[in-house]
Amino acid sequence: MKKIAINLKSILLIFMIFVPVFLMAQIGDGEPGVDVNDSDVPFDGGVSLLVAAAVGYGLKKVHDKRKGDKLAEL
């Protein structure tokens, strides 16, 4: 069972490394009506949400730690 879990983790790791290479957006190569300087993929949409979630999670952890410290003093 342990060997199966290690193999599954290895396959998942390889999948996570190589799949994004095939999913990259391509810029137009001078086709009529395609602006080469136009970006096809918005970058800020998901990144700002991930940053906000990380900040919220960090603040919650700090709050819980301080709350635990106050309870230990009593």
Residue 53 placed within a domain = yes
Global pTM reads: 0.41
Domain with 52, as residue range(s), is 46-74
Q: How confident is the model at residue 44 (pLDDT cuts 50, 70, 90)?
A: low
Q: What is the DSSP string of the chain?
A: -HHHHHHHHHHHHHHHHHHHHHT------S-TT--TT--SS-SHHHHHHHHHHHHHHHHHHHHHHHHHHHHHH-
Residue 8 placed within a domain = no
Residue 72 placed within a domain = yes
Number of independent structural domains in the chain: 1
Residue 65 placed within a domain = yes
* 13-37 pLDDT per residue, tens: 998 888 877 776 665 565 666 666 6
